[in-house]
Amino acid sequence: MSAWAEYLKFFASLLAILNPIGVIPIFINLTHNQTGDERRRTALTAGITVAVVLAVTLLAGELILKFFGISVASFQVGGGILILMNALSMLQGKVGPTRQTAEEAQETQEKEQVAVVPLGVPLIAGPGAISTVILYGHRPALFGRYVIMLVGIAAVAGIVWLVLQTAPLISRALSHTGINIVTRLMGLIMAAIGIEFIAAGLKVLLPALGG
């Protein structure tokens, strides 16, 4: 696979896993008592949070793996399972428990400031997205490569901001059923990504599987 095809795959994978369309109902629910200006600020803060969290993850991911003595292959299997779990929840039109538990959802209802937590993290930039960035970023640490991936992260964060900014319009246009359809399609893509990561990791951990 060419380098640009790999970057495009990274961008598409990250967008599918973040799934900003699927977060629209939660965003509307959490900001129902905010004014238009407050809602726009919340959307902007959530987008910036996503960009910062994923950028830091990209730059520090390799160090985190080395610090804990985790091999990339092991992380591929673990991250792939996590992504697959999220995908199965999305295929049912739900927010997976790895992003937010029922207790956390209840606690969120009592918060006034929701842009950073839980919107930015973990509802949008959750464990699945963080795992994906680490796995794509573990390859040779080239300056140009990191710059391109950071641009991709910024672009995805910009899409998140734009979707949240226009959440009421998108919600009316797609309806709850339309949003669930998009979420299920993103879940299907996520499932394929998760299985791919698991297979790649197992081939390294269990060489006999590679033939």
Residue 152 is which amino acid? G
Which domain does 43 fall in, by range? 3-210
CA distance 145 to 48: 22
For residue 56, what pLDDT band results from cuts at 50, 70 and 90? very high
CA atoms within 13 A on the CB side of 142: 8
Number of domains the chain is built from = 1
pLDDT in tens, 127-179: 999 999 999 987 666 778 899 999 999 999 999 999 999 999 999 999 989 99
CA distance 30 to 113: 9
Question: Alpha helices, DSSP H only, in 94-208?
Answer: 102-108, 127-137, 143-165, 167-205
CA distance 83 to 121: 16
- Residue 3's pLDDT is 83
Contact indicator for 79, 203 with CB cutoff of 8 Å: no
pLDDT in tens, 172-194: 999 989 999 999 999 999 999 99
What DSSP character marks residue 114? -
Distances (CA, A) of 44 to 17, 85, 101, 125, 128: 19, 29, 25, 14, 22
Measured between its terminal Cα atoms, the distance across the chain in Å is 21
- Residue 32's pLDDT is 87
Residue length of the chain: 211
Q: Which two tokens stand for residue 124?
A: 């949008």
DSSP string, 79-93: HHHHHHHHHHHHHTT
Whether the per-residue pLDDT at 106 is higher than 70: the answer is no
pTM, two decimal places: 0.90
Distances (CA, A) of 100 to 54, 95, 105, 175: 18, 7, 6, 23
